[in-house]
Structure 1
Amino acid sequence: MTYLAPNSVQARDIATIVHPQTNLVRHIAEGPMVIGSGHGCYVYDDNGTQYLDTAAGLWCASLGYASERLAKVAYEQMRKLGYYHLYRGTTHDVAVDLAEKLLSIAPVPMSKVLFQCSGSEANDTALKLVWYYHHAIGKPEKRKIIGRRMAYHGSTSASISASGKPDMHADFGLPFPGFLHTEYPHYYRHHNEGESEEQFATRMADALEQLILREGPETCAAFIGEPVMGAGGGLTPPATYWEKIQAVIRRYDMLFIADEVICGFGRTGNMWGSQTYDLQPDMISCAKALSAGMQPISALMINERVFEAMLDESRKLGNFAHGFTYAGHPVTTAVAMETLRIYEDMDMLGHVQRVGPYLQEKLGTLADHPLVGEVRGVGLLTGIEMVADKATRAQFDPGRQVGATVDKHARKHGLITRFVGDRVAFSPPLIITEAEIDEAVTRITRAMDDTWAEVR
């Protein structure tokens, strides 16, 4: 057990805080990593050690760490109107400005915006609206939500039920009944010998259709999916996958929720992952880069079809009985609006389109590493798959914890990564430069070398 000074931040943390996605027993024994400051793509611990963060925090620090421009906007908004709500027909100008902006840049026509505080809440709201919609059109039996194995849509009880992460369901009594999961579209890991990406995508769409037919199309309400799977390991879809999946969704009159919490605002090289993969959703959730991670805000955009059903319910019930205390908070919406202005001023999309291919090229060199089976990505999002045998694609025994071992060595070399099982996902701040990409690749290569020496 690590010795911690009684009044240190680490000791006080252990005595007071429960950390998400953390082995609590190990945390008590070893203590936390204390982050003291950040600038650009780097963070610094309480000892002053520098780390290049290629995970952008939790996929969200798109402008890196610390922004004087956003700090000033937050300060000025707090002085003018530090809080007000959107309940019972009340509004304020910054929420209206942001809603107008989001609708103007939406990848497909959208009608209205609902604000929340997190991606989890945005997806949870979308799921509630699926049921609300089908009640409104006289089909209340359409209640089943279909997600994908290994997908992640949030930590609220409904959004995690839609997620296909067994470790996040275990002993919570989840998922709720009526939440179904179709195949994990991981071509490298799950394709049959000689099967092309297009053939694999057809098999994935057929599996979705067979699931719907088994359950009864009259009971299947919606499909939710990320354009690129984030917590599924930074997994890009195989060729023609979304074209085929969307055809099935439309065939059975299901709503389609595009979870853009990670992909939105430039991550894939377009403003939206839906543009990169030609998605036509009925609802779009977004968060994270909406405020560059600087404020807790999310938004759910809905199309006219869904909003008309909501109007019918208001005529029937008299009230849209849903909401969050901090939804559309004036400070968070002001910071989000300024974040979108910064993206425009910096030509952030142009920057990602320039450096994204460079990241893919440089990380692609790791495909020759004895530990690596596949490197695949889009824009500034890349997944690296580690294998025990490159020829057979055999996986490591999970007990070896190879992903965690890479992460351990990466920290030693001043690099923060995001590992999912034996995959490493790169999602650096969108402001990253070619020189910083070179630095990141050098550091992750050293971490891979150290890991290979340890596990071979």
Structure 2
Amino acid sequence: MLRNDQLAEWDRENFFHASTHLAQHARGETPSRIITGGSGVYIEDRDGKRLLDAFAGLYCVNAGYGQSEITDAIADQARELAYYHAYAGHGTEASITLAKMVLDRAPSHMSKVYFGLSGSDANETNIKLVWYYNNILNRPEKKKIISRWRGYHGSGLMTGSLTGLDLFHKKFDLPLNQVIHTEAPYYFRRADRTMSEAAFTAHCAAELEALIEREGADTIAAFIGEPVLGTGGIVPPPAGYWDAIQTVLRKHDILLIVDEVITGFGRLGTMFASDHYGLQPDLMTIAKGLTSAYAPLSGSIVSDKMWKVLEKGTDEYGPIGHGWTYSAHPIGAAAGVANLKLIDALGLVANAKNVGAYLLDAMRDALGTHPNVGDIRGSGLLCAVELVEDREKHLLFDSSRKVNALIVAEMQSNGVIARAMPQADIVGFAPPFCLSEDEADVVVKATQNAIRTVLG
């Protein structure tokens, strides 16, 4: 018999879960998964089952579970000062220190950090700052935001609109009309199979250019993109993509918001993916890896170019009218300081690069010839296996079969957590940065066995 059975009952009766089939969960058709502990790359549930978390929570427990340096910093900060706000020039030692540490790691043209709580609210902040910026520059019509299909930027009204996945739109009256979408840089899913990678990059840039021409560059404020598509399929861009996109944006005086919520602080084997791809953002979104999810914290990093205009705006109109009660929360900031120190001390960015390359190679060696594996891709400690009904014909499975969910469930029954990515039959991996090669082998073996069990 399960321990704490009453918890499962309370769970179904009281707890509104994110991204969950509410009716099935309430009826008991899906399990209540109650997690009680964790260490390194492993978590443990209430029944004592130990699971290798190959998705680091939601791409976020980068430093790994059970890191006492971070938990001790949280406890010390809570005892010293659990809360004070960041309004009207107030700060704490932790928030000020963390802002400097972030900017020391960010591209050199970035100027200031505004701290929030989640990637969603950071992107809401970004859009408000973009609109404020153009109003101060007397360009009131330049307000539309271009995002990409399959991009993920949050679950709010504006950020859910930026997200290019139907699941986050349907029946929510989204997207809002200030948001327009362009093609995803998803080479495996290209409509014209004869296109080379270079031709597909040129096609994506041309599609963006055509969208700007249709809408009018004088109406478009910014373009937002993840350096690597995350929830939309863990899709690294084709070669030359970001150079081509930035050329179009500069031509039309359109700001670039780089959403580094997943990639920031080392996931690609560089501190930021902006370094990896030569990006020059006007705004950067950070969250998950900022604290390794030990406490909620996000940030909007503002470039020198934008900061000068924001200062001008407050000289003309007074204090900027934006803030959250929990902006720069000292407990979150203390977690961030300890987390970034630990990532440096343990060499976790280099480990993400090295073990990430090992994981991708091992996955390709194990599954590269399987008739139902269409693509194995990744960058740093991001990896995805895309499944197809027929790899020669590039025929996809009927979505009603939920093949990836069956595979992920089989993996979990055998001790490894992966993610069934939405809107495609993709099994995703984003392990903690402390993953070892031996642990990577465990992940690969579990994936291989699960695919054989489900698909043969």
TM over 0.5: yes
In structure 2, the residue matched to 1:176 is 176
Distance, in Å, in 2 between the alignment partners of 1:399 and 1:315 is 57
Contact 1:124–1:158 (CA under 8 A) maintained in structure 2: yes
Worse overlay, 22-31 or 124-133: 22-31
1:394 is the counterpart of 2:395: yes
Query: What residue is the counterpart of 2:433 in the other structure?
Result: 430
Is 1:448 the counterpart of 2:451? The answer is: yes
Say if 2:63 and 2:348, in contact at 8 Å, map to a contact too: no
Output aligned runs, 1:42-441, within 5 Å: 42-190=42-190, 192-365=192-365, 366-420=367-421, 421-441=424-444
Deviations 1:145-194 (A, max 9, x none): 00000110011111111110111111111111110000011101115233
Q: Distance in 2 between matches of 1:91 and 1:352?
A: 33
Report the secondary structure of 2:368's partner residue: helix
Match of 2:17 in 1: 19
Instruction: Please say if residues 413 and 446 of structure 1, whose CA atoms lie closer than 8 Å, have aligned partners that are also in contact.
Output: no
Structure 2: distance between partners of 1:264 and 1:42? 22
User: How far apart, CA to CA, are the structure 2 residues paired with 1:322 and 1:62?
Assistant: 30
Amino acid at match of 1:342: L
CA distance in 1, matches of 2:269, 2:67: 23
Deviations 1:56-115 (A, max 9, x none): 000001122122111111111111111101101211221111111111110241111100
Distance 1:26 1:263 in 2: 33
- 1:7 Cα deviation after fit: 5.4
- Corresponding letter in the other structure for 2:152: Y
How large is the RMSD of aligned CA atoms in angstroms?
A: 1.4
For residues 124 and 392 of structure 1, what CA distance do their matches in structure 2 show? Answer: 42
Letter in 1 for 2:312: D
Q: For 1:200 and 1:440, how far apart are their aligned partners in 2? A: 32
Q: Which residue pairs with 1:8 in the alignment?
A: 6
Are the aligned partners of 1:233 and 1:419 in contact in 2 as well (CA < 8 Å)? Answer: no
Q: Secondary structure at the match of 1:337?
A: helix
Structure 2 counterpart of 1:277, which letter?
Y
Which SS does the other structure have where 1:382 is aligned? Answer: strand
Tell me which amino acid in the other structure corresponds to 1:16.
N
Q: Which letter maps to 1:405?
A: L
Give the TM-score normalised by the residue count of structure 2: 0.97
Tell me how far apart the structure 2 counterparts of residues 282 and 441 of structure 1 sit (CA, whole Å): 38
User: When the two structures are superposed, what TM-score results if normalisation uses the length of structure 1?
Assistant: 0.97
Provide the C-alpha distance between the structure 1 equivalents of 2:290 and 2:110, rounded to a whole number of angstroms.
17
Letter in 2 for 1:374: D
CA shift at 1:5, angstroms? 9.6
Structure 1 counterpart SS, 2:110: coil
Distance 2:2 2:162 in 1: 40
- Counterpart CA distance in 2 for 1:101 and 1:434 is 30
The question of whether the paired residues in 1 share the 8 Å contact of 2:118 and 2:297 is answered with: yes
Q: Is the 8 A contact 1:182 1:208 kept in 2?
A: yes
Give the superposition deviation at 1:296. Answer: 0.1
Aligned residues: 451
Cα offset, 1:235, TM superposition: 0.7
- Kept in 1, the 8 Å contact 2:282–2:303? The answer is yes
Residue identity matched to 1:253: D
Inter-CA distance 391–108: structure 2 relative to 1 (3 Å threshold): farther
Structure 2 residues without counterparts, runs of 5 or longer = none
Q: Is the 8 A contact 1:189 1:393 kept in 2?
A: no
Give the C-alpha shift of residue 45 in structure 1. Answer: 1.4
Q: Is the 8 A contact 2:3 2:46 kept in 1?
A: no
Return the alpha-carbon distance in structure 1 between the equivalents of residues 43 and 369 of structure 2.
Answer: 30
Distance verdict in 2 for CA 1:435–1:178, change over 3 Å: same
Taking a change above 3 Å as real, the CA distance of residues 108 and 191 of structure 1, as seen in their structure-2 partners, is farther
Q: Is the 8 A contact 2:142 2:221 kept in 1?
A: yes
Structure 1 spans left out of the alignment, 5+ residues: none
Distance in 1 (alpha carbons) for counterparts of 2:81 and 2:133:
34
What are the Cα deviations for residues 189-233 of structure 1, in whole angstroms up to 9, with x where unaligned?
Answer: 115233111110000010011011101111011000000111011
